[in-house]
Copies of this chain bind each other. A is one copy, B any other.
Amino acid sequence: MNRTHNNGELRITDVNKIVELKGWVAKKRNLGGLIFIDIRDKYGITQIAVKPENPNYEIANQLKSEYVIYVKGTVIERESKNKDLPTGDIELDCIELKILNTSLQPPLIIADNTDALEDTRLKYRYLDLRRPCMQKYFITKSKITQAVREYLCSEDFLELETPILAKSTPEGARDYLVPSRLYEGEFYALPQSPQIFKQLYMIAGFERYFQIARCFRDEDLRADRQPEFTQIDIETSFLNDTEIQTIVEGMFKHVFKKVLDIDLKTPFRRIKYDDAMNTYGSDKPDLRFGMELFDCTNLFNHIEFMDGVIKGITVKNAEHYTRKNIDELTNLAKKYKAKGLAYLRYQDNTLTGSIMKFLDEAKQKEIIDTLKLENGDLVLITYGKLKIVQISLGALRSFIAKKENMLDPKRFEFAWIVDWPVFEWSEEDNRWYASTHPFTAPKDECLQYMKTNPEKCYANAYDIVLNGYELGSGSLRIYNQDVQKLMFETLGLTDEDIKNKFGFFTEALKYGTPPHGGIGMGLERITMLMTNTDNIKDVVAFPKTQSARDLMCESPSSVDEKQLIDVHIDVRKQ
Least CB distance, A133 to chain B, in whole angstroms = 13
A504 & B227 in contact (Cβ 8 Å cutoff) = no
- B103, B175, B556: the one contacting A510 at CB < 8 Å is B103
Tell me, in angstroms, the Cα distance from A128 to B269 when the chains sit together. 41
Taking CB atoms and an 8 Å cut-off, the chain A residues in 374-393 that contact chain B are: none
Contacts of A175 on B, CB cut-off 8 Å? 559, 563
A130 at the interface (CB under 8 A from B): yes
Contacts of A480 on B, CB cut-off 8 Å? 101
Q: A158-B138, A238-B22 are in contact. Are A550 and B145 (CB under 8 A)?
A: no
**Residue among A24, A178, A544 with most chain B CB within 10 A:** A178
Least CB distance, A385 to chain B, in whole angstroms = 32
Tell me, in angstroms, the Cα distance from A125 to B504 when the chains sit together. 11
Least CB distance, A203 to chain B, in whole angstroms = 4
Contacts of A196 on B, CB cut-off 8 Å? 553
Contacts of A179 on B, CB cut-off 8 Å? 177, 179, 569
Contacts of A190 on B, CB cut-off 8 Å? 164, 178
Q: A177-B563, A186-B558, A572-B570 are in contact. Are A127 and B548 (CB under 8 A)?
A: no
Mask: chain A, 289-320; 1 = CB below 8 Å from B; 0 = not:
00000000000000000000000000000000
A401 at the interface (CB under 8 A from B): no
Tell me, in angstroms, the Cα distance from A573 to B573 when the chains sit together. 13
Least CB distance, A524 to chain B, in whole angstroms = 10
Taking CB atoms and an 8 Å cut-off, the chain A residues in 397-439 that contact chain B are: none
Q: Interface residues of A, CB < 8 Å — how many?
A: 115
A268 at the interface (CB under 8 A from B): no
A51 at the interface (CB under 8 A from B): no
B563 & A572 in contact (Cβ 8 Å cutoff) = no
Contacts of A104 on B, CB cut-off 8 Å? 510-511
A514 & B100 in contact (Cβ 8 Å cutoff) = yes
Least CB distance, A202 to chain B, in whole angstroms = 9
A533 at the interface (CB under 8 A from B): no
Residue of B nearest to A510 (CB): B104
Least CB distance, A539 to chain B, in whole angstroms = 10
A356 at the interface (CB under 8 A from B): no
Mask: chain A, 158-202; 1 = CB below 8 Å from B; 0 = not:
111111111110000011111111111111111000001100110
Mask: chain A, 315-328; 1 = CB below 8 Å from B; 0 = not:
00000000000000
B127 & A566 in contact (Cβ 8 Å cutoff) = no
Residue of B nearest to A238 (CB): B22
A206 & B138 in contact (Cβ 8 Å cutoff) = yes
Contacts of A238 on B, CB cut-off 8 Å? 2-3, 22
A68 at the interface (CB under 8 A from B): yes
B146 & A556 in contact (Cβ 8 Å cutoff) = no
A111 at the interface (CB under 8 A from B): no
A106 & B570 in contact (Cβ 8 Å cutoff) = no
A336 at the interface (CB under 8 A from B): no
Contacts of A566 on B, CB cut-off 8 Å? 174, 218
Mask: chain A, 443-475; 1 = CB below 8 Å from B; 0 = not:
000000000000000000000000000000000
A252 at the interface (CB under 8 A from B): no
- B159, B174, B540: the one contacting A142 at CB < 8 Å is B159
Contacts of A139 on B, CB cut-off 8 Å? 158
Q: A164-B164, A554-B167 are in contact. Are A206 and B149 (CB under 8 A)?
A: no
B572 & A197 in contact (Cβ 8 Å cutoff) = no
- B183, B544, B564: the one contacting A572 at CB < 8 Å is B564
Least CB distance, A423 to chain B, in whole angstroms = 23
A42 & B207 in contact (Cβ 8 Å cutoff) = yes
B544 & A165 in contact (Cβ 8 Å cutoff) = yes
Residue of B nearest to A132 (CB): B205
Tell me, in angstroms, the Cα distance from A196 to B568 when the chains sit together. 28
B100 & A186 in contact (Cβ 8 Å cutoff) = no
Contacts of A57 on B, CB cut-off 8 Å? none
Least CB distance, A9 to chain B, in whole angstroms = 12
Tell me, in angstroms, the Cα distance from A67 to B563 when the chains sit together. 49
A101 & B479 in contact (Cβ 8 Å cutoff) = yes
A66 at the interface (CB under 8 A from B): yes
Contacts of A228 on B, CB cut-off 8 Å? 163-165
Tell me, in angstroms, the Cα distance from A106 to B205 when the chains sit together. 14
Tell me, in angstroms, the Cα distance from A548 to B180 when the chains sit together. 9
Least CB distance, A189 to chain B, in whole angstroms = 8
B177 & A559 in contact (Cβ 8 Å cutoff) = yes
A24 & B205 in contact (Cβ 8 Å cutoff) = yes
Contacts of A183 on B, CB cut-off 8 Å? 549, 556
Q: A145-B159, A162-B541, A553-B167 are in contact. Are A130 and B204 (CB under 8 A)?
A: yes
A82 at the interface (CB under 8 A from B): no
Given contacts A126-B508, A165-B176, 4 further A-B contacts (CB under 8 A): A125-B204, A163-B542, A204-B541, A568-B572
